Amino acid sequence: EAQVTQNPRYLITVTGKKLTVTCSQNMNHEYMSWYRQDPGLGLRQIYYSMNVEVTDKGDVPEGYKVSRKEKRNFPLILESPSPNQTSLYFCASSPFAGVDQETQYFGPGTRLLVL
C-alpha cells in the first residue's frame, strides 16, 4: 500500500531532551515536507526537501533540523525541545511528475507534548 508513515504517533517528552520523529514514504517521491498544525494557525511548513541531500527552510524552521540521506526517509530532529514546540506534526511527500504532480500525500501525524 502506498503510504507515508510517521513514528512515533504520540510522544511526551521533557524540555531539552533530543528527539527524532521519523518519516518514510514508499512511493519513490522526490519531494518531502514537514508541517506543524496548531489551533487557529492551520498548517505551517517547517522544512522541505526537493531530493536527496537537498533541503530548505519553510516558514517556521527555528528549533528544528532535518536530513535527507535517502529518498524515502525525511526525519525531523528537535535537538532541544521546548514547550512551544508542542504541536501536531505532519510529514508529506509528492512526486515531481505525473498525474499526482504537486499533490502532497500526508502521513497520519505525530502528536508531541513537551513538558
Partner 1 sequence: AQSVTQPDIHITVSEGASLELRCNYSYGATPYLFWYVQSPGQGLQLLLKYFSGDTLVQGIKGFEAEFKRSQSSFNLRKPSVHWSDAAEYFCAVGSGGYQKVTFGIGTKLQVIP
What residue ranges bind partner 1 (CB under 8 A)?
A: 4, 30-31, 33, 35, 40-45, 48, 50, 58-59, 90, 92, 94, 96, 102-104, 106-109
- Looking at beta carbons only, is 20 or 101 nearer to partner 1? 101
84 HSE (CA, 13 A, CB side): 5
- The closest of 81, 68, 78, 85 to 32, measured between CA atoms, is 68
d(CA 44, CA 35): 5
For partner 1, give the closer residue by CB, 60 or 114: 60
Q: Compute the least distance from the CB of residue 1 to partner 1, in Å.
A: 14
- At its nearest, how many Å lie between partner 1 and the CB of residue 85? 19
Question: CA neighbours within 13 Å on the CB side: how many for 60?
Answer: 16
